[in-house]
Amino acid sequence: MKRVRIAVVGAGRLGTYHLQKLSADPKAELVGAVDIDAGKREQAAATFKIRTVRELGELTGLLDAVIIATPTMHHIRVAEEALAMGCHLLVEKPLAPRSAEARALIALAAARHRVLQVGHSERFNPAVAAALKVADRPRYIVTERLGPFSGRSTDVDVILDLMIHDLDIVASLIPCGLSEVRAVGVPIITTAIDMASARLQFEDGAVAQLSAGRASLEPSRKIRLFTVERYVSIDCAKREVKSVRRLPPDPSSPWPQIAGEPVEVPAGDPLALQDHDFLECILEGRKPRVDGAAGLRALELAEAVEKALVVPLPGTGPRA
């Protein structure tokens, strides 16, 4: 069986997860890991029995693909280097620090005929994937993504760190443009925005209300979809889906009837499914579920939220 020769750039917490999934995937030939931190390189080498290097260029000629799990500020530099080496790319979210850089990267990958996938792994969450199959024509979407402070991804605010997962899901469900954005946020632990709430209204009238925070005592990853026919509730962490549907009119009743409907959620690890999809896209020459264009749209929505963001200052509220 043909396998993809692949390396992970960035051997931190997320990069290590990628290494775990790739080492168990029969379609991957895990060549090595890249990190400027010698301690992380040593840990990866000892754990996965692979070659580890400081710079990606040291693996020139040995790779078909690269997964980029570095801090966001380094995505473009590493991606350009990997494309120059002829590699296919999976870039962790967000695709780039800003949308202009993302567009340039998409164009470069297209010109070199390389696969460009973006690491919005929540789309591969079996519960989310199952729910999106039945959530037709959503009119109102509510999301909540909260977690305790981890010390990771502090080079970006909570919108690019956490909310962008849900912005990507919203973008996949509502293809039209924005008509209005309102947002509020506050820094709590870092100097960037750590807690934020946003209301996005789209040109077709659909509304999404999103909350994200990285300074919460209790984690929560939930999505609620109100469609023309259904209410669908997703617990992303527990990988559970609940759905109720409006039934055809009953002449004997003045009110519409509703009933629960089962939504089967298959087993599966989102990150493993995502990385496997990347490998199959390369081997089969097909388009990724979350391609560069999808990553760009999520980033554009994130920028719209950041632009609309209001940060309340102490002592500026109404007085009695």
Q: Are residues 135 and 194 in the same domain?
A: yes
* Residue 186 resides in a domain: yes
Q: Looking at the domain assignment, is residue 272 inside a domain?
A: no
Q: Tell me what pLDDT residue 2 has.
A: 92
240 vs 30: CA distance, rounded Å:
32
Cα–Cα distance measured from residue 247 to residue 230, given in angstroms and rounded to the nearest whole number: 10
The two beta strands, 65-68 and 4-9, are parallel
- Give the 3-state secondary structure of residue 211: strand
Say if 245 falls within a structural domain: yes
Whether residues 109 and 29 share a domain: the answer is yes
Say whether both 83 and 169 belong to one domain. Answer: no
Other beta carbons within 10 Å of 54 = 12
Range of the domain at 237: 123-267+302-310
The verdict on 78 and 129 lying in the same domain is no
Q: What is the pTM of this model?
A: 0.92
CATH no. for residue 101?
A: 3.40.50.720
Domain of 228, CATH number, reads: 3.30.360.10
Domain boundary among 114, 139, 163: 114
Assess whether 88 and 141 both reside in one domain: no
In a shared domain, residues 68 and 103: yes
Tell me: do 252 and 132 sit in the same domain. Answer: yes
Q: Are residues 151 and 262 in the same domain?
A: yes
- If asked whether residues 198 and 262 sit together in one domain, one would say yes
List of long-range contacts for 202-207, beta carbons under 8 Å, 24+ apart: 202/174, 202/176, 202/177, 202/178, 203/176, 203/177, 203/178, 203/179, 204/174, 204/176, 205/139, 206/138, 206/139, 206/140, 206/141, 206/174, 206/176, 207/139, 207/140, 207/141
Please state, in angstroms and rounded to a whole number, the distance separating the CA atoms of residues 178 and 202: 4
Q: Is residue 255 part of a domain?
A: yes
Number of domains making up the chain: 2
Torsion of CA 40, 43, 49, 51, to 10 degrees: 20
Residues 102 and 207 in one domain: no
**Residue in 60, 58, 66, 162 with CA at minimum distance from that of residue 116:** 66
In a domain? residue 68: yes
Same domain, 103 and 151: no
Instruction: List average pLDDT for each run of 10 residues in the chain, which is 320 residues long.
Output: 95 96 98 97 96 97 97 96 98 96 98 98 97 92 94 85 97 96 94 94 97 92 95 96 88 82 94 98 96 98 96 58
Per residue in 150-163, pLDDT (tens digit) is: 877 778 899 999 99
Per-residue pLDDT reduced to its tens digit, 164-206: 999 999 999 999 999 999 999 999 998 889 999 999 999 999 9
